[in-house]
Amino acid sequence: MDIRPARIEDARAIHQVMATIIAEGRYLMSGKPPDLEQYCAHLGATLKLGSPVWVACSDGRVIGWCDVHPRVNPEQQHVGRLGMGVARAWRRRGCGDALLQAAIRKAWRVGFQRLELEVFADNEEAQRLYRRHGFREEGRHIAVRREADGFRDTLTMALVHLSG
């Protein structure tokens, strides 16, 4: 497995990993993947901004990603929203740790001072990953996602790196 900055040529592969994880129905907020063309445009815009987007690859194939997107308001562009996903076969093998570490380092280098994310409250494994990297829980959001058997809560977590 190797970790490297994403390129626009990775868009289709990242989208495929994302679609597979969304189909599992347990880890990402979306119920369906974005349109591929829209995702390609989104990735291109993110890369053009210089925001962190990293991929994990095995034998040249994308198996996970981690990205950081700045908030829109100029006064809040030091705040990045972190998202990530790792293909099922590569979970619990260090892939998430490596992706997260690379994205955090790059985020600090390009001027982000706060990273935030939302994770399902019952996804304890992901919460442990984020805590290992310094993220702290900031709040709980009740009944965020409707499912056949009820609702799921989410937690907001953040990592702050104030400098200057």
Residue 16 forms part of a structural domain:
yes
Distances from the Cα of 124 to the Cαs of 1, 10, 55, 111, 127, in angstroms? 24, 29, 23, 29, 5
Number of independent structural domains in the chain? 1
Residue 87 forms part of a structural domain:
yes
Residue 59, classed as helix, strand or coil, is coil
Q: Could you list the mean pLDDT of each consecutive 10-residue stretch along the chain, which spans 164 residues?
A: 96 97 91 93 94 96 97 94 96 96 97 97 96 98 93 97 77
Measured CA to CA, the distance from residue 65 to residue 102 in angstroms comes to 11
Residue 157 forms part of a structural domain:
no
Residue 1, classed as helix, strand or coil, is coil
What pLDDT sits at residue 31? Answer: 85
Question: What residue numbers bound the domain in which 101 lies?
Answer: 2-117
CATH code where residue 28 lies = 3.40.630.30
Query: Cβ contacts of residue 110 below 8 Å, gap of 6+?
Result: 50, 51, 52
Residue 101 forms part of a structural domain:
yes
To the nearest 10°, the Cα dihedral for 131, 134, 135, 136? 80
Measured CA to CA, the distance from residue 81 to residue 121 in angstroms comes to 18
| H/E segment holding residue 105 | helix 95-109
Picking from 93, 114, 97, 117, the residue whose alpha carbon sits closest to that of residue 163 is 114
Scanning the structure block, which residue is given the tokens 């809040």?
A: 76
**Backbone Cα Rg of the chain:** 15
Residue 49 forms part of a structural domain:
yes
Residue 55 forms part of a structural domain:
yes
**This prediction's pTM:** 0.93
Residue 158 forms part of a structural domain:
no
What pLDDT sits at residue 163? Answer: 72
CA atoms within 13 A on the CB side of 147: 15
Residue 61 forms part of a structural domain:
yes
